C-alpha cells in the first residue's frame, strides 16, 4: 500500500532515540522531509547519521528543550521555515520521573505537567497556522497506556497524560472541519532506553535482574513479549499518513495486548 507520504513535511519531537527516533526513521523511509528535535546536539547528530544512511530526503536536526515556554513555538517556527511548511506533527518528549505521593514535590509535579502536557499543547498551537494550509494535515500525540491502566510507580505519568488525551480528542472534534486529523498512541512496554531504565529500577527494588523484569513484564502481554520500536513506528507512520485519511480522534494502544479491559 502506498501511504502517500512521499514529499510530505514532518516534524517529530523527542526524536533522538526510542519511539520518536524509530518513527522519524520510518517517515524518512517513506519519503518525508523531516525535522527531528531533542535537547542534545550530539544525540541529534547521531540520530541524523543513522536516519540519513542511504535515504535521500531532507533531515534537519533542531535542538531545543520543548519543556520551556517559548521553546516549543520556536522549534515549530524554525521547522516550518526549514521545511517550507508542516503537514505532519508528532509530539513526543521524555517521560516523567518515578515516585510516590509522599516523595514527589510540587516543583516536580509542575515540571511533569510542562513536559507531558503543556509541551504537546504548545507545539500543536504553534503548528496550527501551517497545518491549516496543508492538504494532508495530521497530528499524533505520543502518550502512554498509563491513561487507561496505571503503571506501578509512575504516578506522574498516570495522572497527567490524561490531559493530553483530552486535548487531542477535543482538537479532533473541533478542527476536523479544517482538514486537520488528531490521533494519539498509547504505548505499552516498547524496548527503549526509557523502558529499560524503568525496568532497571524495578530490578533494583525487587533484587532481581533487568532480564527477569523483562520476562515478568512480557507475561503481561498476550503476545508474550515487550515490543520493538519498529512495531510502534509502523503504526505511528500509518496513522499520520494520507492512507489513514478517515481516522481522527482515535486513541490507539500499541501494547501487545497488555491492557486487559474490553474498552
Ligand atoms: N517506550 C514505551 O514503551 C513507552 C510506554 C509508555 C509511554 N512512553 C512515553 O513515550 C515517550 C517516548 O518514550 P521513549 O521510550 O522513546 O523515551 P526515551 O527513550 O526516554 O526517549 C525520549 C526522547 O525524547 C527526547 N527528550 C526528552 N525530553 C525532551 C525535551 N524536554 N525536549 C525535547 N526532547 C526531549 C530525548 O532526547 P534527548 O535526551 O536527546 O533530549 C529522546 O529522544 C515518553 O514520554 C515515554 O514516557 C513510552
Mutating to test ligand 1, I would choose from 23, 79, 90, 94 the residue with most ligand atoms within 8 A of its C-beta, which is: 94
Q: Mean per-residue pLDDT for 185-195?
A: 98
Instruction: Tell me the CA–centroid distance for residue 4 and ligand 1, in Å.
Output: 27
* 63 to 39, 105, 219: CA distances (angstroms): 5, 29, 38
CA of residue 144 to ligand 1 center, whole Å: 11
State the first-to-last Cα distance of the chain, in angstroms, to the nearest integer: 29
* Banded pLDDT at 69 (limits 50, 70, 90): confident
**Cα 194 to ligand 1 centre (Å):** 7
* pLDDT range class, residue 215, cuts 50, 70, 90: very high
Q: Phi/psi zone of residue 179: left (φ > 0), alpha (ψ -120 to 50 degrees), beta?
A: left
Which residues make up the CATH 3.40.50.720 domain(s) of the chain? Answer: 9-190+228-254
Average pLDDT over residues 44-59: 96
pLDDT in tens, 54-66: 899 999 999 999 9
Q: What is the CATH number of domain 9-190+228-254?
A: 3.40.50.720
Amino acid at each position: 500500500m502506498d501511504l502517500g507520504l512521499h514529499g510530505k513535511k514532518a516534524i517529530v519531537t523527542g526524536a533522538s532515540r526510542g519511539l520518536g527516533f524509530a518513527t522519524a526513521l520510518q517517515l524518512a523511509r517513506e519519503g518525508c522531509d523531516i525535522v527531528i528535535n531533542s535537547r542534545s546536539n550530539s544525540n541529534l547528530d547521531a540520530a541524523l547519521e543513522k536516519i540519513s544512511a542511504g535515504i535521500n530526503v531532507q533531515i534537519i536536526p533542531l535542538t531545543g528543550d520543548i519543556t520551556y515556554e517559548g521553546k516549543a513555538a520556536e522549534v515549530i517556527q524554525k521547522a516550518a521555515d526549514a521545511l517550507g511548511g508542516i503537514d505532519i506533527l508528532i509530539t513526543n518528549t521524555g517521560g516523567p520521573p518515578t515516585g510516590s505521593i509522599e516523595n514527589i514535590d510540587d516543583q516536580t509535579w509542575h515540571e511533569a505537567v510542562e513536559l507531558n502536557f503543556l509541551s504537546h499543547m504548545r507545539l500543536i498551537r504553534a503548528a496550527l497556522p501551517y497545518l491549516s494550509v496543508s492538504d494532508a494535515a495530521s497530528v499524533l500525540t505520543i502518550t502512554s497506556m498509563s491513561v487507561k491502566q496505571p503503571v506501578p510507580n509512575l504516578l506522574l505519568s498516570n495522572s497527567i497524560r490524561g490531559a493530553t488525551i483530552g486535548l487531542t480528542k477535543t482538537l479532533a472534534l473541533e478542527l476536523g472541519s479544517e482538514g486537520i486529523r488528531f490521533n494519539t498512541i498509547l504505548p505499552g512496554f516498547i524496548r527503549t532506553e526509557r523502558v529499560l531504565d524503568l525496568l532497571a529500577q524495578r530490578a533494583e527494588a525487587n533484587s532481581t535482574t533487568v532480564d527477569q523484569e523483562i520476562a515478568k513484564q512480557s507475561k503481561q502481554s498476550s503476545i508474550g513479549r515487550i515490543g520493538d520500536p519498529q512495531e510502534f513506528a509502523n503504526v505511528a507512520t500509518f496513522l499520520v499518513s494520507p492512507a489513514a485519511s478517515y481516522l481522527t480522534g482515535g486513541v490507539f494502544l500499541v501494547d501487545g495486548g497488555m491492557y486487559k479491559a474490553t474498552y
